Chain A
Amino acid sequence: MARIVGGIGVSHVPAIGGAIARGLQQEPYWKPFFDGFEAAHRWLAKVKPDVVVAIYNDHGLNFFLDKLPTFAVGAAAEYFNADEGWGLPVQKPYTGDPALSWHLIESLVADEFDVTMCQEMVVDHGFVNPMQLLWPGKERPVRVVPVTINTVQHPLPSPARCFKLGQAIGRAIESYEEDINVLILGTGGLSHQLDGTRAGFINKAFDLMSLDKLGGDPKVLTAYSSLDLIEQAGAQGVELLNWIAMRGALGDQVTEVHRSYHIPISNTAAGLLVLEPVPAALRANAA
C-alpha cells in the first residue's frame, strides 16, 4: 500500500527561479535562504519519496478568470512549464503519475470534493520553484501530481475546507494499492502582499505562530477565515492555504523535522517546514 512519508511547506517566490538560473545561491542576499534546504535534502534522501503530490496555486498561467476551479487535480503523463511573461527560464517537463491522479480523483469525488480534472496542466513558478529547491540537481527522482487551490478569485475556499481537502488526499493515498512513498508539498507564502497601499506588508509574529501551529495544533489556523489570513499574512500570504491542505494530509500527529524562516526574499517572508507523520502505533495517546 502507498504511504505518506511526510509533508513540506515551502515558499515559491518567482525571484527564486531567477536566482537558481543565475547561480546566486551563495550570494549574501540568497545564502541564508538556500542554506535552509540542506536539512530538507538530507531528509528526502532518507525517506525517498516516489511521488510528490504538490498543492499550490496557479498564478494566471494555466487558468484564466473565464473558468477558474476552486480545486483542480492534474491527471497528465507530463506537465509542461511555460513562459509566465517575465523572463524565468522554462524548465523541462515533469513526469506525472496518471494512475495515482485518477485514483486521487475517484477517491476525492467519492469523498465529496468535486474537483476539476485536468489532463493538461501547465505548471508555473508555484510548482516549479519548490521542485527546483528540493531537487536542485539535474536528477528528478520523483513523479508528480499537481493539485491547485484557487487563491486568485474571491471567494476563496476557507482554511478549514483546505484542511479537509488535505485529509481527503491523505485518505486517498492510504487506500492506494501500489507500494509507493508519497510526499505532500504545500507551496507559497509566508506573509507578503504585492498589491494596494499596504504592499510590502510582512507579519513575522503571525508567520512564526503559523509554523508552530501547522505542526502542533492546526485547528488554530483552520479557525480563521481566508479574509482573516489576508488581514494577518497579506493579500498573497493567503497562499498559506496550500500549507494547511498539506498538513491535513499528514494525520493527527506529526513531528517537525526542520524549519527555516527568512525575511525577505523579494517582497516575501520565506519559509520552509518539513513534517513527518507519527505512525498510529507510536502516538502519545495510543491505547
Chain B
Amino acid sequence: MSAQSSARKIPGTPIFDGAAARKGYALNRMCFSFNDKANRDAFARDEDAYCARFGLTSEQRKAVADRNVLAMLEAGGNVYYLAKLAGILGLNVQDLGAQQTGMSVAAFKQMLVEPGK
C-alpha cells in the first residue's frame, strides 16, 4: 500500500493521495468506464484489448489479470472505481475483504458480525 506518499501512515489503510492518483490514473479511468454496460461487456469479451485501450501499466495489467485487489491498490487503484471492476468479476465487498485479509469469506463475514454482539 505504498502508492501513497503522504507522511502519515494508517496501518492497513490506503490513502488515495495525489501520488496514488497519478500512479493509478489509467486503471481508475478504465474502471470509471465500467459504469456503462457496453464497456463492461467489451472488457469481458476481450480483456487484453480493453486494458490496452486504456494504457494500463504492466503492473496494473498484471494486478487485474491476477484479480489481486491489494496489487491493484498498490498500482494506484482507488477502491470506489475498483468496485466497478469487482462487479464484473462477480466479487462482492465481503469477497474483496476476504481476499485482502487472507481470510475465508465465512471467517470475514463472522468478523463483521462480532462487533455488533
Contact = CB atoms under 8 A, between A and B. Distances in A.
Interface of A: 59-61, 64-66, 82-87, 152-155, 193-204, 227, 230-231, 234-236, 262-264, 266-267, 269
Contacts of A236: 79
A236 B21 CA distance: 17
Contact of A85 (B11, B13, B34, B100): B34
Contacts of B84: 60, 84-86
Closest 8 CB pairs of A and B: A263-B116, A198-B12, A86-B87, A85-B84, A195-B79, A197-B12, A199-B97, A264-B112
Interface residues of B, number: 49
Contacts of A82: 35
SS of A interface (majority): loop
Nearest to A197: B12
SS of B interface (majority): helix
A194 B28 CA distance: 16
Interface string B74-86: 0000111111101
Nearest to B81: A60
B4 to A, nearest CB: 8
Interface centre among B28, B35, B70, B101 (most CB of A within 10 A): B35
12 contacts: A64-B29, A152-B78, A153-B16, A154-B15, A198-B11, A198-B12, A200-B111, A204-B116, A230-B13, A235-B13, A263-B113, A263-B115
A66 B92 CA distance: 27
A194 B17 contact: no
Contacts of A204: 115-116
B111 A84 contact: no
Interface in B83-108: 83-84, 86-88, 92-94, 96-97, 100-101, 108
B10 A231 contact: yes
Given A60-B80, A199-B100, A230-B15, A269 B115 contact: yes
Interface centre among A154, A199, A264 (most CB of B within 10 A): A199
